[in-house]
Structure 1
Amino acid sequence: MVTDFIKQLLLPSSLMTLLILAGMGCLLFRKARRSAAWLFCAGSLVFLVFANGPVSFYLVRQLEDQSPAFSADRHSPVFKDIVVLTGHALPDTRLPASSTVNSSSAFRILEALRLYQLFPDARITISGSNDVPLLMKKLLTDLGVGEASIIIETESKNTRESAVHLKDRIKDNEFILVTSAGHMPRSLGAFRQLGMNPTPAPTDYLAKMDPLEGNFLPTPNNLMRADLAMHEYFGLLWYWLIDRL
């Protein structure tokens, strides 16, 4: 989609790369060399700001702290449905199921397993697209969950579509929603906008310390966190603009 392409271009790492490439292009023209210097400075500034530990941790934490971790002590109902939104995965018959999913998907499966142990009569629905739900299901069955307890939904290309496709089956019944903590605000908004009643069970936390304790020197990991955070902020803005929150 065009909106996904634009969001990708606006991520800090992409913006930094575009500015530096534009600066390199300007070096080819003598009259544009001053512009090249400004573009190099702008690209460097983006890197220094967003790859900085406290900045990237702060951006992520503002998303992750919106929903507390799930605790059975705080919830009285016996849940019948656990919905897991997919991350990423790639099929590879050479590898065990645990190595075909990325860290985000693995954390979501581990959280689903923890919840299933609390509510053994619940159904686990894995919602996403292509082979990812199947690969996550394989990991879950390898961890001991019976196939009869797992439902897969493979037609949803984004969070909104997951909510739409699950609406008819879950209706307004209370259910547990599992996804990465940074993705939870947008996920809750998408499901609640359709009148559904999710209880959040966030996982895959990326900001686990005080932001001021982070490394002030720029690092690739900090830039990755900033990219993930800005992806969610852009997603929240887009969903708000098209009335999906």
Structure 2
Amino acid sequence: MAFFLSKLLWMIANPANLMGVLALLATVAALLRWRRLMIGTLTLLLALCTAMTVTPLPNAVLAALELRFPQPDLGKLPKVDGIIVLGGAVDTNRSGDFNTLVVTDAAERLLALSDLGRRFPNAKLVMTGGSANIDRDGALMEADLVRDKFLPMVGIDPGRVIFERDSRNTDENARFSAALVKPQPGDVWLLVTSAYHMPRAVGIFRHQGWPVVPYPVDYGSSRDSPISFDLLGGMQNFYWASREWIGLVYYRLLGRTDSLFPGP
């Protein structure tokens, strides 16, 4: 139930959807000659576009998430027992449509799997990810695509990787993977996911009693908060940031994270 509720909540809260609704409402108001409503919706839409384009807001809200956990100094770790990579790097729908591996903006998660797998040859590797589709009948699972398409490209033996293919979200990533690998006290596990997603992911894994070491990748913000006059880029940054901030609140209300904004 929580999975379907989260999908519905994001459809409503998605800033891109909100801007589309405002544009539609302004058009209807203009056709019906509702002057006040038209001016009000156009003003709000213009304010949102301005905020996405000529203010540091999109970069700032994304950077707050991405800088929460720094990249670890792997040389200072006493050992690495395992590496767990969260799904989200593969577009399962398009991969099925074109019968090839189609990656997303989070493809660096897979690059980290390949890199860390070589750097720590004795560590267990876990790839966790199924399908986030509401209707999963006939859907391809991300873990299967990584096994069959990606690992042969980079020369990693699929037999070395533990594949968790049933999860639909981060909470299930943590729960289902923990049931598979049964991490022991004192084990050192690296958690690989996008930097903006790391606070929520760490909170979920901690709540499951799995104290992972964050290994963030896939950065989208900039340190100097530039004004780029790039509406599409600003909307993209704000999209991912707002999705994650809403997810932090939602998961905290459900009691699935250890704090509202997990930190080091």
Cα contact 2:71–2:215 (8 A) shared by 1: yes
Cα contact 1:51–1:226 (8 A) shared by 2: no
Q: Select the residue among 182, 191, 202 that pairs with 2:196.
A: 182
User: What's the CA shift string for 1:30-63, capped at 9, x where partnerless?
Assistant: 3x22111101111121121134462111111100
Question: In the TM superposition, what are the counterparts of 1:21-100 in structure 2 within 5 Å?
Answer: 21-30=24-33, 32-52=34-54, 54-77=56-79, 79-87=80-88, 88-90=90-92, 91-92=95-96, 97=101, 100=102
* AA aligned opposite 1:76: P
Residue 51 and residue 241 in structure 1: after superposition, are their counterparts in 2 closer, same or farther (change >3 A)? farther
Q: Select the residue among 231, 239, 250 that pairs with 1:219.
A: 231
Please give the alpha-carbon distance, in whole angstroms, between the structure 2 residues aligned to 1:38 and 1:22: 10
1:153 aligns with 2:159: no
User: What's the CA shift string for 1:174-225, capped at 9, x where partnerless?
Assistant: 31110000011110001101111211111001013311x341x242011111
Please give the alpha-carbon distance, in whole angstroms, between the structure 2 residues aligned to 1:22 and 1:93: 35
* AA aligned opposite 1:89: D
* AA aligned opposite 1:165: F
Q: Select the residue among 133, 136, 150 that pairs with 2:146.
A: 136
* AA aligned opposite 1:55: L
Residue 204 and residue 122 in structure 1: after superposition, are their counterparts in 2 closer, same or farther (change >3 A)? same
Please give the alpha-carbon distance, in whole angstroms, between the structure 1 residues aligned to 2:230 and 2:50: 6
Residue 125 and residue 52 in structure 1: after superposition, are their counterparts in 2 closer, same or farther (change >3 A)? farther
Please give the alpha-carbon distance, in whole angstroms, between the structure 1 residues aligned to 2:65 and 2:163: 27
Partner SS state of residue 179, structure 1: strand
TM-score, structure 2 as length reference: 0.84
- Identity of counterpart residues, as a percentage? 26
TM-score, structure 1 as length reference: 0.90
Across the aligned residues of Structure 1 and Structure 2, the Cα RMSD in angstroms comes to 1.9
Please give the alpha-carbon distance, in whole angstroms, between the structure 2 residues aligned to 1:110 and 1:53: 32
* AA aligned opposite 1:187: A
* AA aligned opposite 1:26: A
Residue 93 and residue 236 in structure 1: after superposition, are their counterparts in 2 closer, same or farther (change >3 A)? closer
Q: What displacement does 1:140 show? A: 2.7
Partner SS state of residue 56, structure 2: helix
Aligned to 2:177: 166
Where do 5+ consecutive residues of structure 2 fail to align? 132-140, 258-264
Aligned to 1:228: 240
Q: What displacement does 1:68 show? A: 1.1
Where do 5+ consecutive residues of structure 1 fail to align? none
Aligned to 2:15: 12
Instruction: Give the total of aligned pairs.
Output: 238
